C-alpha cells in the first residue's frame, strides 16, 4: 500500500500505452522489419490471401451486402495477416474498391470457435476499412480523424474540460452527417466496434490482473449498455436498469460505481466475491451509456480463507458486502472507501490491483463508445444502439413461436447436497408460450438450503441466459443484446433455491447456477430437439488448499470442469469448461505458486456417455501435497449422473478420494470444508463426464475405432455399448462379429428412453 493511488486518467493512459504496444506488435507482424530497421513490403504471395465479392462465406452477410451495394462488383479484399490468441483473434485486411485501398485491423473475441472468430474479425476489419474509404455519398461512415492514431482515453475529471470540449466539437460535426443510411450501415459498424471494444476490455482484465482467478482462469467478464442500462454486448448478472433506479440517482461525469451485494436492488454477481464496476459514459453532460466489468476477488475477509465456504449458513459469514457506492466521484478516488475495501481481505495487494484493473477495463469501453459518438454522431450512435436492441427483439419474436410449446412442458434435475448434510435438492422449470410471449415458471423448485448453495437470481439474468441459449444455436454470429428480455416472463418463487431470501448464504451458488442450463435443455427437448444438448457437468467444482505456513492467504484455488456434452450434430468435447471464457489452471503456474505437485492430469476414458454422438470425457487430476495444510472442495454430480438424451447414455459421476502417505485411501464427499492434509498425501479429483446423444448402435464403427485408438473409449465399452468388436492387439475391427453383435443388440426389445438418468439416479433417493 506504499504506492500512490493512480487517477483515472493515469490508469487509462497506462492501458492505452499497452494497447498501442500490442497494435505496434501486430503491425510488425504484418510488415516485417529488416535487420537494418527498414520496413519491408508484403510482396510474397504466400503471405496474402486475395478474396473477391464472389466468396461471401469468408465475410459476414451484412458487410458483404453493404460493400456490394456501395461498390457493386468493383471491390475485393485481402487477408494480409491474422493472429489467434486464447482470448482474441486479430485480422489485418486490405480493402480495394474503385481504385482506392485501405488497410485496417479487426478484432473479435475468441470464444473457442476459431472459424467464426476469424470471420467476425474479418468483418470488423472490413467495416473499418469501409468507414475509412467510403465516398462522399456515404460520408456518414467517414471518421473526421480516420487517418490519425487512436485518441487517448478521455478522462472525466474537472481538469479534462478541454478534451471534453474537443469530443463534443467532433460529435457536433459528425451529427450533421447522420442521414437515411444509418438504418442500413451504422448499426452493423457500431455492433462490430462494440464487440471489438468488449474484447479489448477482457484483454485488459486478463493481462493486468494479479489474482489467478482472473488472470489464469478468467473468472471475469465485461459489458457495454445503452443510456438506460440495457445490455448491448457482453455478459452481466446485474439488472442494471433496476440498480440505476434504486441506487444511482445522481450520476455525473467522472463517477465510477462499485458493488458486490447480490441482495441490493438489481443485485451484483451471484456471490460476494464477484466485484462489479460500472462507469457511466458521458458526452459532456449527456449520458450515452455504461461500461461495466466484473471479476472474482481472491478473498473478501470471511472466516474461511478465500471467503467461499460451503458450510456457511448466512451471508454475514461470507465476507464484506459492498452496496453500490461511488469509488470515484467527479474523477476523484474515494480513498476512504478504498481503505475499507483493502482492510477487509487477506490479500490487500491483489484486491487493490484487480479493482483498479476492473476500473481500467471500463475506461476502455467508455473510450470506444465516445469514439463511436465522435465518428458517427451522438444521434446516430444512439439510434444504432436502439436498432441493435430492436433487432434482437424482432428475432426473439420469431423464435419464440417456433420453439416454445403452447402446452406447458416441465423438466426437473437435482443438486446432490448443500455440504451440511441436506439434499438432494430439486430444481424444476415449466415452459410455454402465449402468442409471442414466452413463460418460464420455476415453481416446484425446492426451498432454499441451509448451506451456501443458494442463488438470489435476477429475472434479467435468466432472460439473458435463455435469449443467449436460443440465439447462439440459431445464429452463432449474432451478438445477443437485452432487446428481447421483455418477451420472457420469468417466475422465481421467493424463498426457493434460486431466489433465496436474505440473509441466506450464497457463496457456493455455482452448483445451482450451473444446473440451470441443463434444466432449460431438458424442458426444450420435447419441442425443439434440434436445439438441445445432453446434460453437461453443469457444475464448476472448486478446490482450495491452504498450507499451514501460508503468508499470502490462499496458496491454491482451482476451478474444475467436466466437459462439453454431445449435441445433435457433433460429439461432446473432452475436458474444457462449457463457459468458453474459463480455463483450467496451468500446472506449471500451480506448482510454482503452491506446495503441491501434479502427478497427472488426464482424460477419463468412458466417462462421456455413449451415443451416436459421444459425450465429452471428464478430466482427472492427481495432486500430491508437499506441505501440511487444509483442503476444501466444492463439487457436485457425485450422486446424480449427467443424463443422456434420445437414446444416449449418461456420463459418469465425479469422484474424489484422498490417499495418505501410508497408503490408506478414503472416498471424500462432494463438498468438504477445511480437511487436514499432510505432506505426501495424494488427492484424486475426477470430474464428471457428460451425456451422450442418440443410440450408440447408430455410431459409425470407424468413429468407435478411432475413439479406442485415442484412448477415449475402452475396448470393453466399445463392445458393450456400441456393439463394435475390436482386436486388443492390432486395434482392427472384427467386421463379421461386429455386424452380428449389432444386429442382435438392435433386435433386443425395449423402447429407447427420451432421457437416461443412469443406474446411479438421484431420483431414486429423492
Q: What is the DSSP string of 555-569?
A: SEEEEE---BPPBSS
Looking at residue 128, its pLDDT comes to 84
Q: Is 280 exposed, middle or buried (0-12, 13-18, 19+ CB in 10 A)?
A: buried
In a domain, 2, yes or no: no
| pLDDT for the residue numbered 760 | 59
* Per-residue pLDDT band at 566 (split at 50, 70, 90): very high
pLDDT of residue 763: 54
Q: Which of 226, 473, 208 is nearest to 352 (CA)?
A: 208
Q: Which three cell numbers stand for residue 747?
A: 433386435
Cell of 637: 454430480
649-694 pLDDT per residue, tens: 999 999 999 999 999 999 999 999 889 999 999 999 999 999 999 9
Q: Is residue 1 part of a domain?
A: no
State the cell numbers at 4.
500512490
Work out the average pLDDT over 709-718: 96
Is the predicted pLDDT of residue 762 greater than 90, yes or no?
no
pLDDT of residue 468: 87
Lowest mean pLDDT among 32-36, 329-333, 701-705: 32-36
The cell numbers describing 5, all together, are: 493511488
Secondary structure letter of residue 613 according to DSSP:
B
Task: Let me know if residue 487 belongs to a domain.
Answer: yes
User: Do the beta carbons of residue 449 and residue 422 sit within 8 Å?
Assistant: yes
Instruction: Please state the rounded mean pLDDT for residues 25-42.
Output: 33
Residue where a domain stops, chosen among 501, 529, 557 = 529
Taking the C-alpha atoms of residue 161 and residue 189, their distance in angstroms, rounded to an integer, is: 29
Rounded CA gap, 458 and 658, in Å?
38
Number of C-alpha atoms within 13 angstroms, CB side, residue 437? 5
What pLDDT sits at residue 214? 86
Phi, psi of 369 (to 5 degrees): -65, -45
Say yes or no: 687 and 763 in one domain: yes
* Domain end residue (candidates: 311, 343, 376): 376
Of 314 and 347, the structure prediction assigns the larger pLDDT to: 314
Q: Which of 578, 575, 476 is nearest to 517 (CA)?
A: 578
- Please give the DSSP secondary-structure letter assigned to residue 217: T
Q: How far apart (Å, rounded) are the C-alpha atoms in residues 115 and 492? A: 38
Length of the chain as a residue count: 766
Per DSSP bridges, beta strands 629-634 and 332-333 are unpaired
Q: Which residue has the cell 415449466?
A: 430
Report pLDDT digits (tens) over 543-559. Answer: 989 888 866 446 788 88
H or E, element range at 122 = helix 114-133
Do 249 and 371 share a structural domain? yes
Distance between terminal CA atoms of the chain?
52
- Which domain range does residue 231 map to? 8-47+134-376
Whether the ω angle into residue 424 lies within 30 degrees of 0, i.e. cis, is: yes
Round to whole Å and give the CA distance between 140 and 133: 11
Query: What confidence score (pLDDT) does residue 136 get?
Result: 39
Looking at residue 593, what is its pLDDT?
A: 82
Per-residue pLDDT at 474: 76
Same domain, 595 and 467: no
Using the structure block, give the residue that is written with the C-alpha cell 416454445: 404
| 3-class state of residue 751 by DSSP | coil
- Cα–Cα distance measured from residue 107 to residue 369, given in angstroms and rounded to the nearest whole number: 16
Q: Tell me, yes or no, whether 341 and 392 share the same domain.
A: no
Same domain, 216 and 358: yes
In 10 A of CB 112, how many CB atoms? 15
Q: How confident is the model over 498-522, as a mean pLDDT?
A: 92
CA-to-CA distance for 75 and 73, rounded, in angstroms?
6
pLDDT attached to residue 153: 33
pLDDT tens-digit readout, 310-326: 888 999 999 999 999 99
Whether residue 223 is found in the same domain as residue 325:
yes
418 & 475 share domain: yes
Rounded CA-CA distance 94/79 in Å is 7
Element (H, E) at 286: strand 286-296
* Cα distance between residue 105 and residue 33, in whole Å: 19
Residue 3 forms part of a structural domain: no
Buried b (16+ CB within 10 A) or exposed e, 362-372: bbbbbbbbbbb
Determine contact, residues 237/299, Cβ cutoff 8 Å: no
Higher pLDDT, 92 or 358: 358
| Burial readout 212-228 (b: 16 or more C-beta within 10 A, e: otherwise) | bbbbbbbbbbbbbbbbe
Q: Measure the CA–CA gap between 49 and 93, rounded to whole angstroms.
A: 10
Residue 52 counted as domain residue: no
Give the DSSP H or E segment for 204. Answer: helix 186-208
The pLDDT of residue 412 is above 90: yes
For 74, other C-beta atoms within 10 Å of its C-beta total 13
Instruction: Characterise 99 by phi-psi region: left (phi > 0), alpha (psi -120 to 50), beta (else).
Output: left
Instruction: Indicate the SS3 state at residue 508.
Output: coil
Q: Do the beta carbons of residue 253 and residue 159 sit within 8 Å?
A: no
Answer yes or no: is 638 within a domain.
yes
Residues 335 and 357 in one domain: yes
pLDDT tens, position by position, 272-293 = 999 999 999 999 999 999 999 9
The crossing angle, in degrees rounded to 10, of helices 348-376 and 335-343 is: 140
| Same domain for 598 and 464 | no
- Given 376, 399, 432, the domain boundary residue is 376
Angle, helices 161-175 vs 378-403, to 10°: value is: 70
Q: Lowest mean pLDDT: which of 87-91, 104-108, 234-238, 436-440?
A: 87-91
CB 556 within 8 A of CB 545: yes
Average pLDDT over residues 714-723: 96
Percentage of the chain lying above the pLDDT 70 cut:
81
Angle between helix 348-376 and helix 161-175 axes, rounded to 10 deg: 40
The answer to whether residue 57 is domain-embedded is no
pLDDT band for 151, please (50, 70, 90 cuts). very low
- The reported pLDDT for the residue numbered 66 is 80
Q: What does each C-alpha distance from 497 to 272, 423, 510, 683 come to in angstroms?
A: 17, 12, 12, 31
The answer to whether position 414 is within a domain reads yes
Task: Write the DSSP string, 294-315.
Answer: EEE-S--S-SSTTS--TT--SG
Q: What is the mean pLDDT of the chain?
A: 82
Q: Are residues 350 and 435 in the same domain?
A: no
At 580, the pLDDT band (50, 70, 90 cuts) reads low
Residue 518 has pLDDT above 90, yes or no: yes
How much is the pLDDT for 100? 83
pLDDT of residue 698: 94
The answer, yes or no, to whether residue 451 has pLDDT greater than 50, is yes
The pLDDT score that the predictor gives to residue 374 is 92
Q: Are residues 305 and 248 in the same domain?
A: yes
With a CB cutoff of 8 Å and minimum separation 6, the contacts of 100 are 133
Give me the percent of the chain exceeding a pLDDT of 90: 51
Residue/partner pairs of 713-717 with CB below 8 Å, 24 or more apart: 713/605, 713/606, 713/610, 713/614, 714/605, 714/606, 717/605, 717/606, 717/610
680 burial class (0-12, 13-18, 19+ CB within 10 angstroms)? middle
Residue 168: name the closest of 17, 16, 288 by CA. Answer: 288
91 pLDDT band, cuts 50/70/90, is: confident
Work out whether the CA dihedral 341, 347, 348, 350 comes out positive or negative.
Answer: negative
**pLDDT class of 422 with cuts at 50, 70, 90:** very high
Radius of gyration of the chain (CA): 27
Q: Closest Cα partner for 695 from 608, 614, 618, 607?
A: 614
Higher-pLDDT residue of 434, 147 = 434
Q: Is pLDDT above 50 for 137?
A: no
514 and 543 together in one domain: no
Q: What is the residue-wise DSSP string for 317-362?
A: GS-----SEEEEETTEE-HHHHHHHHHSSS-HHHHHHHHHHHHHHH
CA proximity to 388, closest of 374, 404, 400, 372:
372
Asked whether 269 and 276 are in contact (CB, 8 A), the reply is yes
Task: Report the number of distinct structural domains present in the chain.
Answer: 3
Amino acid at each position: 500500500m506504499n504506492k500512490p493511488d493512480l487517477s483515472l486518467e493515469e490508469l487509462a493512459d497506462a492501458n492505452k500505452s499497452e494497447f498501442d504496444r500490442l497494435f505496434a506488435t501486430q503491425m510488425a507482424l504484418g510488415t516485417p522489419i529488416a535487420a537494418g530497421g527498414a520496413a519491408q513490403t508484403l510482396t510474397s504471395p504466400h503471405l496474402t490471401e486475395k478474396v473477391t465479392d464472389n466468396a461471401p462465406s469468408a465475410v459476414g452477410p451484412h458487410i458483404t451486402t453493404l460493400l456490394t451495394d456501395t461498390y457493386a462488383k468493383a471491390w475485393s479484399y485481402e487477408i494480409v495477416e491474422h493472429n489467434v490468441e486464447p482470448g482474441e483473434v486479430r485480422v489485418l485486411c486490405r480493402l480495394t474498391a474503385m481504385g482506392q485501398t485501405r488497410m485496417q485491423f479487426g478484432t473479435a473475441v475468441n470464444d473457442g470457435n476459431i472459424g467464426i472468430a476469424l470471420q467476425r474479425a474479418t468483418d470488423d476489419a472490413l467495416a473499418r476499412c469501409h468507414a475509412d474509404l467510403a465516398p462522399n455519398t456515404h460520408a456518414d461512415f467517414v471518421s473526421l480523424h480516420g487517418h490519425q492514431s487512436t485518441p487517448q482515453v478521455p478522462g472525466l475529471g474537472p481538469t479534462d474540460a478541454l478534451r471534453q470540449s474537443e469530443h463534443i466539437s467532433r460529435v457536433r460535426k459528425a451529427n450533421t452527417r447522420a442521414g437515411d443510411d444509418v438504418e442500413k450501415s451504422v448499426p452493423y459498424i457500431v455492433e462490430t466496434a462494440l464487440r471489438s471494444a468488449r474484447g479489448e476490455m477482457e484483454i485488459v482484465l486478463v493481462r493486468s490482473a494479479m489474482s489467478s482467478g482472473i488472470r489464469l482462469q478468467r473468472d471475469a467478464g465485461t459489458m457495454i449498455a445503452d443510456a438506460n442500462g440495457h445490455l448491448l454486448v457482453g455478459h452481466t448478472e446485474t439488472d442494471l436498469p433496476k440498480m440505476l433506479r434504486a441506487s444511482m440517482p445522481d450520476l455525473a461525469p467522472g463517477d465510477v460505481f462499485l458493488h458486490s451485494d447480490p441482495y441490493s436492488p438489481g443485485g451484483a454477481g451471484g456471490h460476494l466475491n464477484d466485484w462489479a464496476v460500472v462507469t457511466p459514459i458521458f458526452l459532456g453532460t449527456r449520458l450515452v451509456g455504461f461500461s461495466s466489468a466484473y471479476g472474482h476477488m481472491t478473498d473478501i475477509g470471511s472466516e474461511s480463507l478465500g471467503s467461499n465456504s460451503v458450510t456457511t449458513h448466512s451471508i454475514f459469514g461470507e465476507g464484506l458486502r459492498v452496496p453500490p457506492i461511488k469509488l470515484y466521484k467527479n474523477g476523484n478516488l474515494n480513498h476512504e472507501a478504498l481503505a475499507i475495501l483493502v482492510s477487509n481481505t487477506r490479500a490487500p495487494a491483489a484486491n487493490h490491483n484487480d479493482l483498479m484493473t476492473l476500473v481500467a477495463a471500463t475506461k476502455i469501453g467508455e473510450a470506444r463508445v465516445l469514439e463511436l459518438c465522435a465518428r458517427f454522431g451522438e444521434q446516430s450512435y444512439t439510434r444504432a444502439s436502439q436498432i441493435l436492441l430492436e433487432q434482437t427483439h424482432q428475432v426473439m419474436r420469431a423464435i419464440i413461436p417456433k420453439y416454445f410449446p403452447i402446452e406447458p412442458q416441465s423438466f426437473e434435475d437435482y443438486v446432490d447436497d448443500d455440504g451440511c448434510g441436506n439434499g438432494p435438492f430439486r430444481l424444476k422449470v415449466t415452459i410455454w408460450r402465449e402468442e409471442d410471449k414466452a413463460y418460464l415458471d420455476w415453481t416446484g423448485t425446492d426451498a432454499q438450503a441451509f448451506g451456501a448453495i443458494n442463488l438470489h437470481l435476477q429475472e434479467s439474468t435468466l432472460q439473458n441466459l435463455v435469449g443467449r441459449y436460443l440465439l447462439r444455436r440459431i445464429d452463432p454470429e449474432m451478438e445477443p443484446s437485452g432487446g428481447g428480455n421483455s418477451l420472457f416472463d420469468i417466475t422465481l418463487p421467493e424463498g426457493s433455491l434460486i431466489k433465496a431470501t436474505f440473509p441466506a448464504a450464497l457463496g457456493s451458488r455455482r452448483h445451482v447456477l450451473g444446473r440451470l442450463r441443463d434444466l432449460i435443455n431438458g424442458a426444450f427437448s420435447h419441442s425443439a430437439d434440434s436445439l438441445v444438448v445432453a446434460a453437461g457437468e453443469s457444475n464448476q467444482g472448486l478446490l482450495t488448499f491452504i498450507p499451514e505456513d501460508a503468508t499470502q492467504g490462499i496458496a491454491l484455488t482451482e476451478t474444475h470442469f467436466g466437459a462439453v456434452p454431445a449435441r445433435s450434430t457433433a460429439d461432446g468435447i473432452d475436458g474444457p469448461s462449457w463457459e468458453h471464457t474459463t480455463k483450467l489452471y496451468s500446472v506449471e503456474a500451480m506448482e510454482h505458486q503452491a506446495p503441491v505437485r501434479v502427478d497427472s492430469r488426464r482424460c477419463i476414458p468412458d466417462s462421456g456417455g455413449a451415443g451416436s454422438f459421444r459425450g465429452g470425457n471428464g478430466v482427472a487430476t492427481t495432486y500430491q501435497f508437499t506441505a501440511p495444510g487444509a483442503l476444501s472442495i466444492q463439487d457436485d454430480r457425485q450422486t446424480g449422473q449427467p443424463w443422456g438424451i434420445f437414446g444416449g447414455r449418461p456420463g459418469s459421476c465425479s469422484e474424489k478420494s484422498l490417499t495418505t502417505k501410508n497408503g490408506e485411501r478414503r472416498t471424500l464427499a462432494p463438498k468438504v470444508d477445511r480437511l487436514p492434509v499432510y505432506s505426501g498425501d495424494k488427492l484424486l479429483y475426477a470430474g464428471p463426464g457428460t451425456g451422450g446423444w442418440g443410440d450408440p448402435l447408430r455410431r459409425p464403427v470407424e468413429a468407435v475405432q478411432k475413439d479406442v485408438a485415442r484412448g477415449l473409449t475402452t475396448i470393453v465399452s466399445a463392445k458393450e455399448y456400441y456393439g463394435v468388436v475390436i482386436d486388443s492387439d492390432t486395434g482392427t475391427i472384427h467386421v463379421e462379429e461386429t455386424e452380428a453383435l449389432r444386429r442382435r443388440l438392435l433386435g433386443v426389445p425395449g423402447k429407447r428412453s427420451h432421457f437416461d438418468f443412469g443406474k446411479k439416479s438421484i431420483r431414486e433417493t429423492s
